[in-house]
Amino acid sequence: MRLIHFIQIGDKNSLAIHNLVNDLNSVQSEFVFSFHDDIIKYPEEIDLSHPVYSEKLETLVGNYISSRFRDRYPVAICDCQFEEDMFSVFGHNLAIISTYYWANESSQQVQHCIAFTLIDIILNLYIDAKIHYESIGCPMDYCSRGQMKEGLARCNFCSECQYQILKSIETGKITLQQKVAIDKILDLISGRKYCFVIMPFHKSFDKIFNCIQSAFNKSNWVCNRADEIYEPTQVVNIIWEQILRSNLIISDLTGRNANVFYELGYAHALGKNTILITQSIDDIPFDLRHLRCIEYSKTAKGYRKLSEIIQRYLQGPRDQL
């Protein structure tokens, strides 16, 4: 668990930082964010009518934190025009984010921009992620305002960064849980939710998956399943990652497939919301029958019904989803 503490420079952003801390702490638990109204005023010698040199702010914050927050990584949020466009990182000691260019945006937009900038800062505490100078809508783009907009619209790592992060999990630089926590922050910003479908790897389940996926059309949900396209060595990592990241798990227990039960057990241990589906209720063990189970038939009518039941579930009063 890593503690990240916000410090405010200047008068603005208090509300945005408070709300952001609540949101960030509610979607993941690998990083604990805090803000205790630590507000630093700009000293008079800093001329705010011109871009401020980041070194000046570094000294300002450095003096403030010298004896405090030894166990926390400080992230300062300033509202002045910054020499660097958006943010500056001072090794593993401090990061400063400027909200100057978002002064006319809503408080929520400011929160999203800070959170998006944090992705780069947090990831670089673990791995030496490369910055893209070209704009490809990735959190690791060199951030100008235009690139930030593109990144926010996509809210995902590019495939090159994904690969680099997965490699870093293999070499132990970052854990899968930390990677998923970062992805959860991206999901928070974009307002999307994930459903992961656990089912046997067999062509006969393709239609059923398509039918489940259709229930999520026109929604902010992304519905995935682990596919055979992945290398066998990667499958386990990808499945664990998807289960960890998901807000909902749909598990097809037809045929009592051992892998399906194993993955479902992991999802239950994590306390995930689950829907169990099956072609025969006899495939659901007695001790799981008190959970939400849907029996469906392998007919066009059965598929339609299954899709409708899942849609109704998504529309139900389930705040935790």
Per CB under 5 A, does 127 bind Zn ion? no
Question: Which of 9, 24, 121, 140 touches Zn ion (CB under 5 A)?
Answer: 140
Smallest gap from residue 8 Cβ to Zn ion (A) = 29
Helices (H) and strands (E) in the chain, counts: 10, 11
> 280 to each of 194, 253, 277, 284, 288, how far by Cα in Å?
26, 9, 9, 8, 14
Q: Which of residues 249-278 bind Zn ion (CB under 5 A)?
A: none
Q: Which residues does 149 contact at the CB level (< 8 Å), separation at least 6?
A: none
Closest to Zn ion by CB, 138 vs 148, is 138
Return the number of the residue (39 or 127) whose C-beta is nearest Zn ion.
127
**Minimum distance, C-beta of residue 54 to Zn ion, in the bound complex (Å):** 24
* Residue of 163, 126, 127, 156 whose CA lies nearest to 141: 156
- For the bound state, the minimum distance from the C-beta of residue 87 to Zn ion, rounded and expressed in Å, comes to 16
Of 127 and 158, nearer to Zn ion (C-beta) is: 158
How many CB atoms sit inside 10 A of residue 31's CB?
20
**Number of residues counted as binding Zn ion (CB under 5 A):** 4
Which residue in the set 57, 110, 148, 161 belongs to the binding site for Zn ion (CB under 5 A)?
Answer: 161
How many of the other CB atoms lie within 10 Å of CB of 151?
27
- Enumerate residues 141-160 that contact Zn ion by CB under 5 A: 158
Are 208 and 303 in contact, with CB atoms under 8 Å apart? yes
Q: Which residues fall within 8 angstroms of residue 204, CB to CB, at 6 or more apart?
A: none
- Residue 43 or 146: the one with the smaller Cβ distance to Zn ion is 146
Give the range of 64-72, 133-141, 233-241, 251-259 binding Zn ion by CB under 5 A. 133-141
Task: List Cβ neighbours of 23 (8 Å cut-off, separation of 6 or more).
Answer: 111, 115, 188
Adjacent-strand bridge partners of 251: 198, 276
User: Which CB atom, from 53 or from 126, has the smaller least distance to Zn ion?
Assistant: 126
Considering the complex, state which of residue 89 and residue 158 has its C-beta at the smaller distance from Zn ion: 158
| By CB under 5 A, residue 138 contacts Zn ion | yes
Kindly state the smallest distance separating residue 189's Cβ from Zn ion, in Å. Answer: 16
Neighbours of 58 (CB within 10 A): 16
145 closest CA partner among 95, 196, 90, 103: 103
Q: In this chain, which stretch among 32-40, 86-94, 119-127, 139-147 interacts with Zn ion, using CB under 5 A?
A: 139-147
Q: How far from chain centre, in Å, is Cα 135?
A: 21
User: Which residues, numbered 178-237, are part of the site for Zn ion (CB under 5 A)?
Assistant: none
CB-wise, 10 or 151, nearer to Zn ion?
Answer: 151
Measured from the Cβ of residue 103, the count of other Cβ atoms closer than 10 Å reads 11
- The span of 81-89, 115-123, 134-142, 280-288 binding Zn ion (CB under 5 A) equals 134-142
Helix 176-190 to helix 232-245 angle (10° resolution) is 50
- Any contact of residue 166 with Zn ion (CB under 5 A)? no
- Contacting residues toward Zn ion, per CB under 5 A: 138, 140, 158, 161
